[in-house]
Amino acid sequence: MTALPEDLDLKRTMIANVVMIGKPDSGHWVLVDCGIAGFSRSIQDAAEERFGSAPPKAIVLTHGHFDHVGSLEKLLEEWDVPVYAHELELPYVGGTKDYPEPDPAAGGGLMTAVSPLYPRHGLGLGGRVQPLPSDGHVPHLADWRWIHTPGHTPGHISLFRDRDRTVIAGDAFITVKQESAWAVLTQEQEVHGPPVYFTPDWHASKISVRRLRELDPALALTGHGAPMQGEALRKGLSRLADKFDEIAVPSHGRYAGDSHAPEDEPPFV
């Protein structure tokens, strides 16, 4: 098991992770993502055990897919705190736009096959979600910066802390083969591309993975899978970045052809 810094904690909500940033009992902390629906009480219990009765200073979303915002509305009923996301993600979490349809033909396992059952509709949060500051700083987290890592969604972000090279990658890359129900159950570790059934822009995703590889992270907490660090992370992420089309991009399916887009920059911000 990977040992985490004192100020980081990861909680699994069945198929997706949430991250709490802040030293225990400090009363100052931030929640990253909100997991799947039905886990609001579980998240609150974990937070209270770690931080006492103090609510988070803010909630930061790596993106707005159902498995990362499922418990958000229930949490906001208890915590009157600001929520931040990339400006390109606001139409989805605000409820004015739905995500593209999942791709059950992308292959990889049972989780892909049943992906048409996953919710893809935007949340109706309207103005409750604010855009992240354009200068890259993360509200209430002085040591962290956000990085635009689109592909999985248009406004997907990752968080990075330079002093110890820790990345909170969301689904830009993950550490389990999320398409496989067996891998999800056993949490068998491997550096893996974003879930194939919910990634419409493979060209942007490839550039995002390479952008994160350039940071040379020493520790990664991802949206799916257990934390990974050290040489296993370095080798796995380098292999994924170098052989992205071979490893990550599905050979068939609704969005597979997008990996062959011209090598121009996607709308990174």
Tokens representing residue 234 in the block: 């370095």
pLDDT score, position 117: 94
Which three-class secondary structure state does DSSP give residue 251? Answer: coil
Q: Please tell me the total number of residues recorded for the chain in this structure.
A: 269
**Distance between CA atoms of residues 64 and 155, nearest Å:** 9
pLDDT score, position 264: 45
**Distance between CA atoms of residues 219 and 109, nearest Å:** 28
pLDDT score, position 232: 97
Q: How far is CA 50 from CA 5, 24, 80, 121, 168, in A?
A: 14, 5, 19, 33, 19
Q: Tell me which CATH code domain 8-260 carries.
A: 3.60.15.10
**DSSP string for residues in 76-98:** HHH----EEE-GGGHHHHHTS-P
Report the alpha-carbon angle 142-148-152, nearest 5. 130
pTM for the structure as a whole: 0.95
Q: Which of 256, 114, 80, 262 is nearest to 184 (CA)?
A: 114
**DSSP string for residues in 218-235:** SEEEESSS--EEHHHHHH
| Residues 209, 217 contacting (CB under 8 angstroms) | no
Parse the chain into domains and list their residue ranges: 8-260
User: Dihedral through CA 226, CA 189, CA 156, CA 74, nearest 10?
Assistant: -40
pLDDT score, position 108: 87
pLDDT score, position 177: 81
Q: What is the mean pLDDT of each run of 10 residues along the chain (269 residues)?
A: 94 98 96 99 98 98 98 98 98 96 92 92 91 98 99 99 99 91 81 96 97 99 98 98 96 74 53
